[in-house]
Structure formats: C-alpha cells, structure tokens
Amino acid sequence: MENLTNKDKKRAREYAYLIMYQVDVSGFSPEEIAETFWEELEEERGKEKKEVKELSERLVKGAVRSLLEVDSEISKHLKKGWIIDRLLPMDRSILRVAAYELLKENISPPAVVINDAVDLAKVYGEDENSYKFINAVLDKIKKDAEK
C-alpha cells in the first residue's frame, strides 16, 4: 500500500464502492463481480494499477467477510425505525466499505476515508442528500471506534 498515492487510494475506494454495489444488488460473489468489473473498466479506461485493484478487492472482500459487524455498526447510527435494508443500495454500499475500512483497516487516516466516501457519495449517491447522511453516519462510527 505504501506505493499508492492518495489519488490511487481514492480511486481504489471508488472501485470498491462500485463493486460492492454490484455484489449487493446482484447477489454474485465479490470475485465474480470484480472479474467482470476490471474487464469492463479496462475496455473503457485502460489497464488499472495492480495495487489499486488489490486494495479495491481487499476492501470489498473485507466488508463482505465482516458484513454482520459492519451492518450492526451502521445500524446503531440510523434513525429510529430505520434498518439497513431500507437504505438506497449505493448509499448502503459506500457505508459498508467505508465503515469496514474505519473499523478494520489502517490504510489512511479516518478523516480521509470519510472525506473520500462523502466526495464519492456526491457523484454516486442516489439522493441529493446522500453525502450528508453518509458523512453523519461515518463520523459517528469513527467517534465510537475512538472510544
């Protein structure tokens, strides 16, 4: 991970959110989705750095492996009466990957992880306020993790 720039890490997070979204809505495994994702990406944008792909897949696989814990942590910070399944799929995917990274990885400072999630929620979020919601939930998860 040391030879990845901050821009590379942000791109890896973006790809992780997109792969996680496809895993969520399709029911296919992260491996199946990633294989197709990288093929399509290469056709559109050219070959991606190996380290960026590895980080993306590490984040998705980690989030899937830790899904119960990650979902439980996210659920603690949802409005009363809301359940994670009611969230819009892209918002849920961004939250799952970012929450996993905050809880289990030490790739970047928490503020950077949250900032990247918020920036990408502005692009991919399914509601105009998605980024605000994602920022609030991730900030609470970060504060809980610091206790």
Percent of the chain whose predicted confidence (pLDDT) is above 90: 85
Q: How many domains does the chain have?
A: 1
Higher pLDDT, 112 or 145: 112
Residues 4-22 have a mean pLDDT of 96
**Residue 74: domain span:** 6-146
Residue 147: per-residue pLDDT: 78
pLDDT category, 82, cuts 50, 70, 90? confident
Structure tokens given for 56: 């993306």
Confidence of residue 54 (pLDDT cuts 50, 70, 90): very high
pLDDT in tens, 55-81: 999 999 999 999 999 999 999 999 888
Q: Comparing C-alpha atoms, which of 4, 5, 10, 12 is closest to residue 61?
A: 12
Q: Specify the CATH number for the domain of residue 22.
A: 1.10.940.10
Assigned domain for 20 exists: yes
Q: What is the pLDDT of residues 120-134, one digit of tens each?
A: 999 998 889 999 999
pLDDT for 46 equals 84
HEC string of the chain equals: CCCCCHHHHHHHHHHHHHHHHHHHHHCCCHHHHHHHHHHHHHHHHCCCCHHHHHHHHHHHHHHHHCHHHHHHHHHCCCCCCCCHHHCCHHHHHHHHHHHHHHHHCCCCCHHHHHHHHHHHHHHHCCCCCHHHHHHHHHHHHHHHHHC
Residue 37 lies in a domain: yes
pLDDT band at 146; cut points 50, 70, 90: confident
Q: Specify if 1 maps to a domain.
A: no
pLDDT of residue 65: 97
Both tokens assigned to 13: 């997070």
pLDDT score for 45: 87
Instruction: Give the whole-angstrom CA distance, residue 102 versus residue 116.
Output: 12
